[in-house]
A and B are shown apart, each in its own frame.
Chain A
């Protein structure tokens, strides 16, 4: 029994594949035929119309019974969705403003850093100028005292001779 079973499986597999091949060819002809396409379209329209009629009938019955209908719930959920949309639009605007603020903050920070750097640079330049001035004054001081002493000696000499 067990010896014949694998052969049976193999045979059934082969039979299936032959059948599948034949069916595929047949389906190819059927599924693209004008009759099938037209029937498919009509069936879809019919189903859609039936669905619409059914929903309309249910809604009318519920309305007559003063029970909220499907339409009412749809209207409510639409309003909720619109509210969510408005909230999300507000959130978008807030995020955009917060982006702008962050960008401005960054710019302000950069400007302050630039200003601080400029001040440091100016201070360094000033210090350098001061140092140069001090150096110049240091050189100028002995030179300025020598001629004054010479003038003083000359004046005293003139007074003595007179």
Chain B
């Protein structure tokens, strides 16, 4: 058992080595099969001894962080678990937008980029795909699938649909206190560092808990590695294309259009075509985490009220990011894939 002093000294020594900077994340072997602007389509081939065992899946990751949260470390990777089970995975990494991308609209992302990414993935796979979306990547996927027949069925992991049930985020993202227009006009793209700060202030006590957690478990090398991997991923925030963010905040956070105007196609017209999740006819599965303070289960499972096709829901134990690192997402997705 370490003394209080030893523990503190070991923690300080560990932090002085800058572990997050030295660690590599996203190391599961894969190949890039297509690029468009900053976005990349990554293919993870199945590693099952008997090759492909299931329908390939297309994964739409969130735009606000890096995709590596699903591939943190060997043994802590959704990608590794899925490919080991014989699932070919096509992952859409939206990339890091530059100042030249501030005019990229939501329509461009949903009706152009996603369409092309699905097309290339389907051509590569040589068969129809199942689709999976995580967080806001799932929201964009839902809008896309209500307008295009790109997949056989879809699973949405911690995907906000009822934005007014998004806890503290819903309180902060109101027209009266969130000047989205001024922010986009000034910044161009919505800065990733502001998004990261907002997320850390959602639960301020979590910031001290993070350090105390490391201090308490400094003897455990596996925990230390995971801590450093999460720290690395968390500090590497990504800007959100300005015009896409403006429309996303207005329509989703301010107006809650996806849920409030179900079956009312005149409310949100995107690129000349109404947005209405009722138009989606494929079957969908919503996975939410019970301790998710970013997308609580109520915000995610509202998919059942908005989606046009059949919807099943599942609530798992954990937090928004923790379920990616502790194998819960892999397990839940594999259950869905094997149905």
Contacts and interface: CB of A to CB of B under 8 A. Distances in A.
A4 B259 CA distance: 57
- Interface magnitude class on chain A: 35 or more
A12 B4 contact: yes
Contact of B168 (A31, A45, A73): A31
A30 to B, nearest CB: 9
Interface stretch (B124-132, B181-189, B228-236, B300-308): B181-189
A27 B205 contact: yes
B247 interface: no
A43 to B, nearest CB: 10
B30 interface: no
For the residues of A in contact with B, the DSSP-based class is helix
B172 interface: yes
B3 A48 contact: no
Which of B4, B7, B36, B184 lies at the interface centre, i.e. has the most chain A CB atoms within 10 A of its CB?
B4
Given A16-B212, A20-B209, A44 B116 contact: no
Nearest to A23: B205
- Interface magnitude class on chain B: 35 or more
A123 B116 CA distance: 50
A32 B178 contact: no
Nearest to B182: A45
Nearest to B202: A31
A1 B2 CA distance: 11
A6 interface: yes
A104 interface: no
Contacts of A92: 116, 119
Interface string B157-199: 0000000000010011010111100111111000000100000
Interface of B: 1-4, 7, 36-37, 98-101, 103, 116, 119, 123, 168, 171-172, 174, 176-179, 182-187, 194, 201, 203-205, 208-209, 212, 216
24 contacts: A5-B3, A6-B1, A8-B3, A9-B7, A23-B205, A24-B203, A27-B204, A37-B171, A41-B177, A41-B178, A44-B182, A44-B183, A47-B194, A48-B179, A48-B183, A48-B185, A48-B186, A51-B186, A51-B187, A52-B186, A74-B99, A77-B100, A81-B37, A88-B116
